[in-house]
Structure 1
């Protein structure tokens, strides 16, 4: 009889437990905001998770921020010698080298001198002379960097490294790793619009991810994606950061091959992949190429990419083959 009473008591206690609810955490980092939404059947110390996320993002900032003079990247940029930069930075450079090669050099992490030259760093357009442009291009290219014995070196002090086109994806992945350490299987992590999802919503349905309509004067949805499998969703666009000068638009996306802002009509590229760093790099790289050149690269590399072109205000979607193969991913 005692075991029966105990069994009944356990059932009653289980029935009294509160059902899981969404936990939402948020904060500021990397010049933008971050948001985390998750649910778990286990009891979770939310404040502890929040602290770990803040600590993780602060550590990434100390390694990769070009706005901090004491960051690892900033110290590397101001010196001309071999330096131990850490496995995280070296790993991202290796990913970038592969993407650079497959885009014929359009995408490159050493593009910062060109950003400075064109005035994007200080938000003041400065159209360079051809001689200044060609001189700056001599400092651009991942071939200037050498990785050996877990250290990084460069062949000229003018070579500057900038991880902003891949670092936010890396950050999203590291925040997701914090949740995994707490055995949280159902979550959505977002930093500055870059996302990674895992599991499902509380009711078992897919996470709904909005793709923004890439028009500068609007805040509207282009489409909604339904994601119920582990996936990073990274979007890069030209429609928020640009200069208009004498009837010409200068995008902040610079083609490292020419040293000039891109002039094609592609205004947004969304890439889906399991690796958020990889997806982040490719969304920028394919945006650099534009849909006409980029769709062939996406198809040959099996990249799930959605290009959006703006033809005088008319938006057109171009979908890579791997994107088309995903079933029931778009909310009709």
Structure 2
């Protein structure tokens, strides 16, 4: 009897172990990691007259598209010049506006910082000139030099005053246009929202402005391409690849956004100093900074300044790293890479 009892006890223990192992196996099979081994999520959609694309890693595979679309709609309701009742549009039609949304004040703060650091090369009050040269909401409307000089009287970021509650004009015809910084800021807003919702690894892109945080599905830094600055170049014709180490990136260039009148090209970068589209050898400026809003603003400023002044500015401020692609005096395409960007850049040629 003792022998049989011992056997029964052993068999019972084995049976319990088997039941427990089956339970563990079923729990394992039902876990999100086993059910879906790929945590990569990809979202895309229209916004700000362009598109967004977001890649993030989430083992729970949460779909945030509805929330992000809603977030961007509210963002545009603050800063879009194309929405008639946005906060920015209402400011442009009046002499002041009280902030109801949280986006106007931060973009004014950053604009003032970059305006001062670039001695006015970045200036959101250049809006009237952007419009008159055909790159605003109303389309092309060419004017003579006298009219350009009159419009220059409206330009100057010092012609507005603001605090955390609102913004007011000190010159009645000031017109703000955040097209050179809003997409970058929108990227940061989405990136911060993802972080707040427990996403540590992601790449956010809106109209070519980006933020990369954490790593991709292979455990590597997010890598993004810089297109060769060629009017006929394809989107996949890359000049360089940049790895983003928890940084924002933006590229500005004149090689595609332009039009011709009587054989003369007019680029979309308008100088707040002269009132005219810039004409120099700098083809594109790619900036990497602490966030995309900063990168976006500086990329625009560099396209106003040109190659040599941009190099001097970067060395003086140290606020950003950059890749410049330009034509030399003989028309040969060359590039300049700042020292801090070199470890994160491949493919590009550095000739200066």
C-alpha displacement at 1:138, in angstroms? 0.8
Hey, what's the Cα distance between the residues in 2 that align with 1:184 and 1:65? 28
2:326: which partner in 1?
309
Are the structure 2 counterparts of residues 155 and 109 from structure 1 closer, same or farther at C-alpha, using a change threshold of 3 Å? same
Which stretch has the larger CA shift, 192-201 or 315-324?
A: 315-324
Equivalent of 2:241, from 193, 210, 224? 224
Pair 1:272-2:296 in alignment: no
Select the residue among 188, 194, 201 that pairs with 2:209: 194
Larger Rg: 2
Go from structure 1 to structure 2 and tell me whether the alpha carbon gap of 1:288 and 1:56 turns closer, same or farther (over 3 Å shift). Answer: same
Secondary structure in structure 2 of the residue aligned to 1:260? coil
Whether 2:93 is the aligned partner of 1:68: answer no
Residue 295 of structure 1: how far off its partner (Å) = 0.8
Structure 2 distance, partners of 1:162, 1:138, is: 16
The C-alpha deviation readout for 1:122-179, integer Å capped at 9, x for no partner, is 44361x3332122111111111101146221002331011111111011111111232
Taking a change above 3 Å as real, the CA distance of residues 149 and 29 of structure 1, as seen in their structure-2 partners, is closer
- More deviation in 149-158 or 7-16? 7-16
Output the CA distance in 1 between the equivalents of 2:22 and 2:221.
Answer: 36
Q: Report the equivalent of 2:151.
A: 136
Aligned equivalent of 1:235? 251
Match of 1:24 in 2: 42
Pairing partner for 1:13 from 27, 35, 38: 27
Deviation at 1:245, TM superposition (A): 3.2
Q: Which residue of 1 aligns with 2:277?
A: 261
Cα-to-partner distance string for 1:299-324 (whole Å, 9 max, x where unaligned): 11112011111346632111223323
Task: Using the TM superposition, give the Cα deviation of residue 3 of structure 1 relative to its aligned residue in structure 2, in angstroms.
Answer: 8.8
User: Which stretch has the larger CA shift, 291-300 or 202-211?
Assistant: 202-211
Using a 3 Å threshold, how does the CA distance of structure 1 residues 9 and 254 change in structure 2: closer, same or farther? same
Instruction: Return closer, same or farther for 1:3/1:55 CA change in 2, 3 Å cut-off.
Output: farther
1:35 Cα shift? Answer: 0.9
- For residues 153-168 of structure 1, the aligned pairs below 5 Å read 153-168=168-183
Q: CA 1:83 to 1:34, structure 2 compared with 1: closer, same or farther past 3 Å?
A: same
- Quick one: distance in 2 between partners of 1:328 and 1:102? 25
Per the TM alignment, residue 87 of structure 1 is displaced from its structure 2 partner at its CA by 4.1
Q: Is the 8 A contact 2:131 2:139 kept in 1?
A: no
CA contact (8 A) 2:131 2:140 kept: no
1:52 to 47, 58, 67: 67
What 5-or-longer segments of structure 1 have no aligned partner?
none
Question: TM (normalized to structure 1)?
Answer: 0.90
* Alignment correspondent of 2:106: 91
The alpha carbon displacement at 1:286 in A equals: 1.2
